[in-house]
Amino acid sequence: MALIVQKYGGSSLATPRHIQRAAARIQGVCDTGDQVVVVASAMGRMTDHLIVLANKTVKHPPQRELDMLMTAGERVSMALLAMALHERGVAAISFTGSQSGILTTSTHTDARIVEIRANRIREELEKKKVVIVAGFQGVSREKEITTLGRGGSDTSAVALAATLGADRCDILTDVDGLFTADPRLVPNAKLIRLCTYDEALELASLGAKMHARSIEVAKRFKVKVRIASSANSDCAGTELVLNREETMESTQIRGIATKDGYTYFRCAMLPQTLLDALEVQGIPLRFFHFAEGKVCFLADKERVAQVKRLLETQNVIFEEIPKVAILSVVGEGITGSADVLPRLYRALKDCGVESLLAVCNSHSFTVAISSQSLESAAQRIHLEFLEKS
């Protein structure tokens, strides 16, 4: 008898029909004799809807109250899924993050899991019940409800799998796994069957369909993770592995990652002043450039209003360019290759796209471009690195 953790994303629980389909899949696993813990995301775009509702109600929603509001979405889906399983004759019980013993830091809207006291989950598994846990949420030691940041249900699932010693953690979503590019942008994108934790972490942090922090947890605790389709139980999906068999010191491009919704900021400001101010606000800075007394950086859409208030408080005159996206070429050993960056820039030039910012690290080269150019640039760069023989 195996213990399987399954995470269902919002698109997999978007409607009552989707919830019934998820219940049927869970029942199929139970029929094999395996134990199942399910992590449920909010239905469809409910989290987005709740954030919009908050912003229509008040100008600056307090972070604590946002957490209270957003956690309602997962409570709806977990309860409905438990009802659907009961109707099928499958014993099930739903728990919020706090009821599941998920203890977090006290940072609202972006908390980190400190530990999971899973006694109650284990007790219900012993009673042969399916345990359904609300993803994306927990409780701080101060007994404040917290959320783990967008996409945090993946991290809930992997962390639970690590704590419970699960045989496997399935991240079930509306696509067949990790692809060499977003199939919505690049029709020729191919499924990646095996992907190292490091490659998956880079792809996820740069826009692929997986919460980057969940992969960090999976690698640290050696959790066997499979990313697959919730609609197609025959789909093999993408399996995360520690290493792939490759030629020694080879450079292999694994995929093109894309993420839209950024704003580009440029201002005259000392780097340390900016970094200190961002640290106080708890805003991470990943894509940035300092030169000639100017600071250029990107802020994602959830942080834009916060960044603007911060700069205004500092009495800094700034320029902003909205509707910016990032596009990244990802692969192990990438920065040790002399030809990747020149080929990337030639491909951008071929499709008439200019880069606002460029960042590199051991597994990727990333450029910031206009959102309008994202589709054409992604297709051209995928052709250059993943379709040419």
> pLDDT tens, 126-179?
999 999 999 999 999 999 999 999 889 999 999 999 999 999 999 999 889 999
The one-letter amino acid at 64: R
Q: What is the DSSP letter of 242?
A: S
Question: How confident is residue 249, by pLDDT bands cut at 50, 70 and 90?
Answer: very low
What pLDDT was estimated at residue 247? 44
- Output the six-digit token pair for 106: 């006290």
CA 32/CA 35 separation, integer angstroms:
9
Task: Give the contacts of 338 (CB within 8 A, at least 6 positions apart).
Answer: none
- Lowest-confidence pick of 34-48, 242-256, 329-343: 242-256
Q: Bridge partners of 300? A: 262
Q: What is the DSSP letter of 376?
A: H
Pairing relation of β-strands 35-40 and 357-361?
Answer: unpaired
CA 355/CA 349 separation, integer angstroms:
9
What pLDDT was estimated at residue 369? 97
What CATH topology corresponds to 252-387?
A: VC0802-like (3.30.2130)
Question: How confident is residue 1, by pLDDT bands cut at 50, 70 and 90?
Answer: confident
Same fold, 3-241 and 252-387: no
> pLDDT tens, 313-344?
889 899 999 999 999 999 877 877 788 889 99
What CATH topology corresponds to 3-241?
A: Carbamate kinase (3.40.1160)
- 365's enclosing H/E stretch is strand 364-370
Return the closest-CA partner of residue 168 out of 102, 110, 228, 211. Answer: 228
Taking CA 80 as the corner, what is the angle to CA 102 and CA 99, rounded to the nearest 5 degrees?
20
Residue 66 phi/psi, 5° resolution?
-60, -45
What's this model's pTM, rounded to 2 decimal places? 0.87
Question: Is residue 251 helix, strand or coil?
Answer: coil
* Domain spans, the chain: 3-241, 252-387
- Output the six-digit token pair for 99: 């009821």
CA 213/CA 198 separation, integer angstroms:
12
CA 210/CA 212 separation, integer angstroms:
6
